Structure 1
Amino acid sequence: MKAKTIDIIKSSGEKVKFSLEKLRRSLRYSGADNETVSKIIDVVRDELYHGISTKEIYNRAYALLKSKKSYLASKYKLKRAIYELGPTGFPFERFIGAILKYSGYEVEIGSILKGVCVSHEIDVIAQKNNESILVECKFHGEQGLNCNVKIPLYIHSRYNDVKANWEVITNKGKLTQGWVVTNTRFTKDAIAYGTCANLYLLSWDYPKDNGLKDRIDRLGLYPITVSTLLTNNEKQFLLSRGVVLFRELVDNAFYLDHLGLSDVRKDKVLGEIKMLCHK
């Protein structure tokens, strides 16, 4: 049976035809060479069956990639690693704040601002060049859930309430824009409304070539959860200590001592960081 005739099940429950090219692109995105990509595709294609889930396909490709080079598997699992920042949205807010900080912004997380009508807790306030933006983060802990138009509608109303009182409550420069950031995707209506309302929308793959995935890769700002060498409990320990970026461990390696890692394992983790994050 040819791969292109196989029906697979997405995380949303939708049935689609398996795309060999999509799998090839995702493996190339990890940085794997053509020979490695071809070998993994050959194995996965032979194991396909009608009704297989995208999760099963991912797990198999991930395991094969990990057996080659762990840092390639780390990059391959980026999307899932962001889901693993949950179950609450707070680590995701800190992660977005960290990305903005590395982009030259001064950031504040979880501030309370008084609007004209009511007070609002703002996920991230980011300031640069005497201008400020308000960033609201919408974290989904499950794949297949997208941000519909209700999200930017709601956030736009909160932004306008704060903006109307901005000069009274703060001296953080001119308030120029509201952002909506999600780890999944926006629906077409959400994008249409965001564009019309002058909200900046940032999702996994939007805007094109400058989405969350692109920014992370460009800056080497991978979340701690991408590691293939740390256990889930170890990652949660680090997140509880405020370590959200993998690269932070290079300058704060003492956290690895707190985990009780052996010198050999510690060196492997630091090596994984340097390969992945360009450190």
Structure 2
Amino acid sequence: MNEQFEVIKSTGEKAPFSLKKLKASLKKSGASRQVVEHIVQTIANELYPEITTAEIHNRAFALLKKEQSTFASKYKLKKAIYELGPTGFPFERFVGQLLNYSGYTVEVGQIVQGFCVKHEIDILAENSDCFILVECKFHSDKTKKSNVKDPLYIHSRFSDVQKLWNGADDKKLLKEGWLVTNTRFTADALQYGSCAKLFLLGWNHPKDNALKDRIDRFGLYPITVSTLLTKREKDFLLSRDVVLCRQLLGDRFFLDHLGVSDTRKKKILEEMKMLCTLNNMQDAID
């Protein structure tokens, strides 16, 4: 197998093809070692100069889908997060569900009075100890990172709300401000977040506890990972605030509203159940 090929990343940059990274991403889909080796061998034999990571991902996805749809679904996780757009509101609901399953009571889209002005807050979350204020930054462009302007803005809003909030005697303290994005942060954004004590959660940050890790840990896959639901069906479910596979398992009557046949409904629900029970996930090739 030749690892000397250069691939074109989504940013347009060139990078050496990494056999190790491809194998790791395939393993995390839940596929067996034999399936992984077969797919790696197939893709390695098909490489050509300046192939894109998107082309490699699409080929791996197609090969995984032939083996089992749930492998393919998990492999496309990063793409599925982008499909929660373009408005970003389903992403806020999705982040809210991640917090809910992490032990928080969550309210989405709240108006909160600050010391100076009122603020529309994406997510206000409460646990047994305190409240946290969460703002979400959704990017439909996978090459776009959240730069330092985002944490600067969020931190100023958090500080204004916290100043008034923590002056009251009858409330739990508002202790943390969070900024959550579906992409990555620039170095300046990370530096400011660390200095200002603003928690930054991105696709690959912080290490081992990033957005992709949390999704995997709790098995909280968005419905957009499904290979069986059509785009129209996904859009319908998202418009009804059904953003997780496990939500659809609980609210399966929505499939009747969509006119899904009993045979197809059974296959969809089997896919949802498999996705909720498998505990590994795919990291994007780049």
Q: TM-score, normalised by structure 1?
A: 0.96
- Between 1 and 2, higher relative CO (CA 8 Å, sep ≥ 6) is seen in 2
Do residues 186 (structure 1) and 185 (structure 2) align?
A: yes
Root-mean-square deviation (CA), in Å?
1.5
Aligned to 1:6: 5
Identity of aligned residues (%): 60
- 1:3 Cα deviation from its structure 2 partner: 3.1
Instruction: Report the AA paired with residue 60 of structure 1.
Output: R
Q: Cα 1:214–1:170, aligned 2, differ >3 Å: closer, same or farther?
A: farther
Matched, 1:31 2:35: no
1:68-102 Cα distance to aligned partner (Å, 9 max, x none): 01011111111110000001110000000011111
CA distance 1:252–1:171, shift in 2 (3 Å):
farther
* Structure 2: distance between partners of 1:169 and 1:73: 50
* 1:137-176 correspondence runs (5 A): 137-167=136-166, 172-176=171-175
User: Residue 181 of structure 2 contacts residue 201 of structure 2 at CA under 8 Å; is this kept in 1?
Assistant: yes
| Residue number in structure 2 paired with 1:80 | 79
* Residues 60-79 of structure 1: pairs in structure 2 closer than 5 A: 60-79=59-78
**Other-structure match for 2:227:** 228
Q: Distance in 2 between matches of 1:212 and 1:179?
A: 13
* Aligned mates of 1:170, 1:218 — CA distance in 2: 36
Asked if structure 2 preserves the Cα contact closer than 8 Å seen for 1:113 and 1:169, the reply is no
Q: Kindly state the Cα deviation for residue 168 of structure 1 after the two structures are TM-superposed.
A: 6.2
**Range with greater deviation from structure 2 (79-88 or 138-147):** 138-147
CA distance in structure 2 between the aligned counterparts of 1:171 and 1:146, rounded to whole angstroms: 39
Q: Residues 100-153 of structure 1, C-alpha deviation per residue, up to 9 Å, x if partnerless?
A: 111111111111112222221111000011410000101111111111122111
- TM-aligned CA deviation for residue 172 of structure 1: 4.7
**Divergent runs of 4+, >2 A:** 167-172
Equivalent position of 2:283 in the other structure:
none
Q: Distance in 2 between matches of 1:59 and 1:26?
A: 13
Confirm or deny that 1:108 pairs with 2:104: no
* Amino acid across the alignment from 1:261: V
Residue 265 (structure 1) aligns with: 264
For 2:169 and 2:237, the matched residues in 1 are separated by: 33
Amino acid at match of 1:61: A
Match of 1:92 in 2: 91
Partners of 1:120 and 1:21 lie apart in 2 by 46
Most deviating of 142-151 and 241-250: 142-151
CA distance in 2, matches of 1:178, 1:13: 33
Pair 1:170–1:17, CA change in 2 (3 A):
farther
> 2 CA distance for matches of 1:172 and 1:24?
50
**Aligned residues between the structures:** 278
Return the offset for 1:170. Answer: 9.8
| Distance in 1, Cα, partners of 2:151 & 2:38 | 43
- Aligned mates of 1:170, 1:223 — CA distance in 2: 39
Q: Is the 8 A contact 1:110 1:122 kept in 2?
A: yes
Distance of 2:8 and 2:87 partners within structure 1: 27
Letter in 2 for 1:245: L
